[in-house]
Structure 1
């Protein structure tokens, strides 16, 4: 049997440790008090007990001004706060502006729509625009080119339908959980109100997400194309258009060329439509979310040039 005697010094050691801890406590107290004070100050700054979400947003703006958070972080936090009050109907692409595929359309027609719009997912209808029978991925459409005997219906993915009132927070969680990227929004009567993608939801937090039509350097909103025409961003300032094309479009009431053209037309122009302004032809290349993303701009011949051409 082992002798328990060697274990007895542990008692004084514990007592000594306790005494040492007790003796050190007063010296540590000011330090702990300082830490608590600093923590309280930090909590008071970050969460000053605002009475509204607007006050909290103002607090974030003050934090940015004091360089405690980066501008991008502040913008994202604001986006998260605002998104909590938004529903699917606030962000959706309205039904009249949805790009749809008809299940009965020939392959060439379907492929042309896919190429022209540049989308990766399309609602597929049968009979009417309100009768959405599924979602077709653009990459799946290519399978018909190699195997024409395939039935397009077999390539459709199930469509997800959500009410206009569904909150964006909940919708984003559903998108992540179900690994789904597109939802069809329906109104209270069960009719198609629009569609919403995961990109639309995320843009409420992080801002505009560049797509395949965007350049890496988007500081210049006017680009020259190979055929001599120009590609112009819908949100390009009127001042930049005047400078690029040597025209004098009015900029008192509108800041962007998209806003000016929509006003003159009386509505947002649709993809493929052309509008003539200041001897320039603006053809819509891409629309998204109820706004024009890109115009193709060409100079029109002046009346004198037209007369000389006829002579």
Structure 2
């Protein structure tokens, strides 16, 4: 026996639309209800769309300090830096914006240098107009900096950047000291995920490469100091406390209690032996984590 569908028989796609209409029939009254509503919408919407909606809703709950580039990782310039040296730095780092610091105070940002503002200088160099190059100071090229607190909400930052039509802000801590920089791209990545441009090294930007298994030592990993503690806990199954600090480098400095002569220093936290293996001045770059417990519970082969 054959069953035929009349023109009035609803199709599977129309069933989905009806389900969506019923799902939307009751408007959410709180932010938590709206978040749950968006999360449950995966049955109707594309995953990427849902991820973006969740990213937008998460902005009010995300502080600037969570998305900024912290001070140790910021590549800046000093107002006394010569134009030739500035050009070398730009060619080496390929950023489009750089904070410029007062020559006498590393906490005082006098402005933001846009790489494109150096184009006239390049033209003068090509024309060998050396007198114009020497008379141009870096201070004359920078733009007025925009400041924001590290505890400010990310949606507040977004409105501020939109209203001022700038793409980088200087982040300050509770004492007014320079804490880092944050850009419009940082905000967009909170919504749409990592953005890799033509200058980025994909391997360097990939979060998975923040934690790399040691090639010879068992139960040992190399971890970038900038790795968020929560990410390290998720990746290695550790239980480091992130109540007072956010990164693995901050955790080690907190445990050691001092910030000088850190190279080679070790500290035992829970069942983990943590050693500083790469440091520049008082800034830690790389750590070595070794699981000292007999019950490791992590398969190194999954990282190879």
**Do they fold alike, i.e. is TM over 0.5?**
yes
Q: Which of the two has higher C-alpha Rg?
A: 1
Counterpart in the other structure of 1:135: 112
Tell me how far apart the structure 2 counterparts of residues 102 and 259 of structure 1 sit (CA, whole Å): 27
Matches within 5 A, 1:143-292: 143-145=120-122, 146=125, 147-148=132-133, 149-214=135-200, 221=203, 235-236=208-209, 247=215, 258-259=223-224, 267=249
Tell me how far apart the structure 2 counterparts of residues 261 and 96 of structure 1 sit (CA, whole Å): 9
Deviation by residue 1:53-73 (Cα, 9 ceiling, x = unmatched) = 555444434321x2x100000
Q: CA deviation at 1:195?
A: 1.1
1:119 and 1:138 in contact (8 A); partners too: yes
Aligned residues: 214
Which consecutive unaligned segments of at least 5 residues does structure 1 have? 1-37, 222-230, 269-274, 276-281, 285-289, 293-311
Q: CA deviation at 1:129?
A: 1.5
Deviation by residue 1:67-124 (Cα, 9 ceiling, x = unmatched) = x100000100110111121222222112232211011122232222222222111111
Tell me how far apart the structure 1 counterparts of residues 226 and 41 of structure 2 sit (CA, whole Å): 39
* Structure 1 residues 137 and 81: alpha-carbon distance in aligned structure 2, compared to 1, 3 A threshold: same
Query: What is the TM-score normalised by the length of structure 1?
Result: 0.56
Which consecutive unaligned segments of at least 5 residues does structure 2 have? 1-15, 126-131, 233-247, 251-263, 265-276, 287-304
Which among 46, 55, 76 is matched to residue 52 of structure 2? Answer: 76
Q: RMSD across aligned C-alpha pairs, in angstroms?
A: 3.9
1:172 and 1:198 in contact (8 A); partners too: yes
Tell me how far apart the structure 2 counterparts of residues 200 and 232 of structure 1 sit (CA, whole Å): 13
* Structure 1 residues 141 and 207: alpha-carbon distance in aligned structure 2, compared to 1, 3 A threshold: same
Counterpart in the other structure of 2:24: 46
* Structure 1 residues 47 and 82: alpha-carbon distance in aligned structure 2, compared to 1, 3 A threshold: farther
Deviation by residue 1:203-248 (Cα, 9 ceiling, x = unmatched) = 1101101123347xx6xx5xxxxxxxxx895634978x89xxxx56
1:238 and 1:249 in contact (8 A); partners too: no
Counterpart in the other structure of 2:259: none
SS at match of 2:171: strand
* Structure 1 residues 47 and 141: alpha-carbon distance in aligned structure 2, compared to 1, 3 A threshold: farther
